[in-house]
Structure 1
Amino acid sequence: MPLIYQKTEAGQTAFKTRSAELSSRQRSAFLLFDGKRTLAEVLKATLGLGIGAPDIEDLVVKGLLVAPAGAATVPPPVVDTVPAAVEAEPASTAAHAPADELPPMQRYQRAYPVATRITAKLGLRGFKLNLAVEAASGYDDLVALLPKIAIAAGDKAAAELKRALGL
């Protein structure tokens, strides 16, 4: 039986409020879960974004997606869903490595939630900056936004983001 997920109320709210719980990649995948598409179809559609089963599992764990009652809740193993160039290091290594020792993609993945959280706290005055962070598609984009975030949020917030970026 194919695995089909549905958005929860918490997921809808997180999406609408641009919560830091959803990374930009996860937001793209989240949009596709309509209660009709299978997990395999969503993973195939988001292949170019580097979305994998762990990203979807994270949404389920956070309560943003749910499988219909009676459906299997463990995703089947997915083979070749992430191109080799995008594959991350094992979680144990990446989670404890200093940011400056990580490849740019992993630095981006570490820094994106920090930047989103910082700009979300700015309220209306940080709205455009928050949109710019969400539009950032990689490490270099976040580094380019760092000076603007420092001006808007202050040196303490910028220092946190700088550490996450490995600078």
Structure 2
Amino acid sequence: MIWTKTDAGRIEMTARTRVKERAQRNLLLLIDGAKSEEMLLANVTGVTIEDFRALEAMGLIAQVSGSGSSRLNTPPAAAPAAAPAAAAGGVGTPVDPGELDYAKFTSTLTQMISSELGLRGFTLTLAVEKASTIEELRDVADRTIEQIRSRKGEPAAHKARRMLYGG
């Protein structure tokens, strides 16, 4: 299912009067009429089905017509367990360049930005969430690697490159 902001949702983004929960604000920010519910649930930390329900109940988001059936009427699934490398402070497993998968690449890149750049990587994190193709993600990945290189040196950039592209 794909969601879009309603006029009220767009107004809320600037007014900031109704949505107080951080996860819901982040979700509202990232809903763009292109990313699927599953993609957002898998890649946005702290977001649950209940956050979609709450935004829909406030009239801030609506289903894009023809985007499939809603999962909102199904019981929430258990949150996926964190990858061992991520739980240990790493950035996940390398993405195999032969099968560059959007969701896996997005997850690895987002974790890398957070662990390597912290808050300095905020705009890169937003760019990852905005990206809708592998090519756009590769552009963000290249910018991320360059920022890691400039802040932490070539060895850290090389490690990041290997983590994202393998080899």
Give me the TM-score of the superposition, normalised by structure 1. 0.42
Give me the TM-score of the superposition, normalised by structure 2. 0.42
